[in-house]
Amino acid sequence: MSGPAGARRPGLRGGFAAVKHLRSSPKLRRLAVPLAATAIAVGMARGLAGQGDSFFQAVTRVGIAGLGVALAASVVHRVVNAAGWVLVVRSLGQRMDASVGVRVWLASEACRWLPGSVWSYGSRTFLAARLGMNPGTAAASLVLELLVTVCGWVMVAALGWPYLGVSLGAIAARLPAWDDRRLVACEVGLGVSLVLLAAIAAGSGRVRARSARLMSQLVELRRRSASLPRLAVAAGYFAAMGVFSGLIFLAVLRATPDGAAVPAGAAIAANALAWLVGFFAIFAPGGLGVREACLVAMLSPWMPAEEAFVLSLAWRLVQVAAEMLCFVAVAAWGLPGSIAAAPPPREPGTRRGPSRPARSGLRAS
């Protein structure tokens, strides 16, 4: 037994050394990411080969009116969901007007479309500081909002566990029937590619920078005393927003005839689980592809896979369109905190006197 084990150890050491060398070499990382993405694309194309007619029929069955309703509801959801950050800020002892907090949140989320990953959270800290908030409190509110949001989504997914159990049981029942070697090879290739992307992401400088920023925010959070009752209210609020998001996803499902067979609880639970899976998939920006795959798997007991795939893509497009509409609204409304260009001063002798300074919307408790 010692001989074969000893023979395998050099191979394992070589594999670990190759992964370590891949993570430490920027050139290899830049080359490996497109290769892994290409492998994923090829695997998806081969796995979906021969299903063109089914996908075309699934697309033609989607109702535009249902997607329009989902888009309008998604815009409302983003505005209402922004108030959750206001609750988190108030739990830290900082009073904030709801309208001001919503504008700051929407402005920071709109900054995600700017080049560079720092603009989303960094812009919110900057805007909050311009409004008079302590930068440490602003930084602590970001990480606290993140933790409370995850707790809210976990509560929604836990409440829908019976439906998730049905989905997992259906997936397990179909596994022995997968006798197509080409399909199995594609699935294995996709899994290896995802693991490779995760290993690359774990050693990338961007992830290390985000981890360092998160640790600094956690240290700042320890210096602040948050109100536990108010945090519980914020967690419940984000859980309600998760249910609201699931109902909007249900409206997307109802845009097709087969979507009527999906129970409301199953849609809400699948949407919550997909959000959590995409959140922890650090190698996928915005959970792109990961959340869609999770939705397809979770909806498999109630509708065909090709229709679930089309609807998951439609759900992604609806959310992106809602973000873009909010971006346009923020750009037209103007950024809070007097960051937008101020109007030129009036000429002497005009009837209107100097304008009063704008309210900051922040008050110390």
Going 76 to 79 to 80 to 81, the CA torsion angle's sign is: positive
pLDDT at 97 over 80: yes
- Virtual CA dihedral for 18, 181, 191, 117, nearest 10 degrees? 110
- pLDDT, residue 187, reads 52
Q: What is the DSSP string of 236-275?
A: HHHHHHHHHHHHHHHHHHTTSGGGGGS-HHHHHHHHHHHH
Ramachandran quadrant class, 362 (left: phi over 0; alpha: psi -120 to 50; beta: rest): beta
Beta-strand ranges (E) seen in the chain are 94-96, 362-364
Cα(123)–Cα(139) distance, rounded to whole angstroms? 11
pLDDT band, very low/low/confident/very high, at 8 (cuts 50, 70, 90): very low
- Give residue 259's identity as a one-letter amino acid code: G
Q: How many residues does the chain have?
A: 365
Instruction: Report which listed range, 39-48, 49-58, 94-103, 283-292, is most confident.
Output: 94-103
Helix/strand/coil percent split, the chain, to 5: 75, 0, 20
Q: Quote the radius of gyration of the chain (alpha carbons, Å).
A: 24
- Virtual CA dihedral for 283, 136, 100, 153, nearest 10 degrees? 40
Q: In Å, what is the CA distance from 95 to each residue of 217, 253, 365?
A: 20, 40, 6
Cα(248)–Cα(74) distance, rounded to whole angstroms? 7
- pLDDT, residue 50, reads 56
Q: Where are the domains of the chain?
A: 64-181+202-335
Verdict on whether the full-model pTM lies above 0.85: no
- pLDDT, residue 250, reads 94
- pLDDT, residue 344, reads 41
Q: Which residues contact 172 (CB under 8 A, 6 or more apart)?
A: none
- Virtual CA dihedral for 242, 133, 213, 124, nearest 10 degrees? 50
